[in-house]
Amino acid sequence: MPFGPFRKRFLSALLLAYLIAGCAGSPSATRVPFRSEYGVSRDAVLRYRIPIGWFDATADSQATGHAAWLLKNDYAASITVDEVHLEERARSSLKGNDLLQLGRLILPLMERERAALVLQSPELFTVDGKEYCGYEVVNTAERDTIRVVLLDTGEKVYTVTLFFSGSKRAWARSDMTMLRDAFLTTVKW
């Protein structure tokens, strides 16, 4: 058969391509689908996209304390964005991008307020070339995981709080990180 060796090479090349594609990592932020339109924070400083399977509750009267409030359709998770109100002296000390210090100051307040156990202390990380500070706690009673990210626009500082209900389902750490990073890539100011 004249096509025998050709078919073997073709199938070998195809198999190799599948193996390489299967081993290649894909950027986590691209695996979270978002709606094409942007939502706008209550203070009109931030724009963000809404993940598919979520809804924007920012306009709801229960969200008046938040700059933005997104809820998963099954209520198993939420994303809230809140301004951190700083005195001018504290704000000027942040001009050096010391989000880590601010994270270390805010974390103990959250621990006491939510009876939480620290899973990850404040640390700096980068998404799409922008620096953030993040930490993670778990509510010991409900087993809810809470990830907090500090975001500095240059004019204002915000906390982006991702809440994952422990009573609704188990969350993989990689899924929580993927959602966090994907959402942060959509936030514009």
Model pLDDT for residues 119-166, shown as the tens digit of each residue: 999 999 999 999 999 999 998 888 899 999 999 998 899 999 999 998
Indicate whether 170 belongs to any domain: yes
Domains in the chain: how many in total? 1
Indicate whether 24 belongs to any domain: no
Per-residue pLDDT reduced to its tens digit, 163-177? 999 887 778 999 999
Indicate whether 60 belongs to any domain: yes
Indicate whether 13 belongs to any domain: no
Give DSSP secondary structure letters for 66-106: -SEEEEETTSSEEEEEEEE---HHHHHHGGG--HHHHHHHH
CB atoms within 10 A of CB 111: 14
The pLDDT of residue 5 is above 70: no
| pTM of the predicted structure, to 2 decimals | 0.80
Domain that holds residue 59: 31-186
Indicate whether 40 belongs to any domain: yes
CATH number for 44: 3.40.1000.10
pLDDT band (50, 70, 90) for residue 114: confident
Q: What is the mean predicted confidence (pLDDT) over 53-71?
A: 95
pLDDT band (50, 70, 90) for residue 17: very low
Indicate whether 69 belongs to any domain: yes
Indicate whether 8 belongs to any domain: no
Indicate whether 48 belongs to any domain: yes
Residue 176's Cβ-side half-sphere holds a number of Cα atoms within 13 Å equal to 25
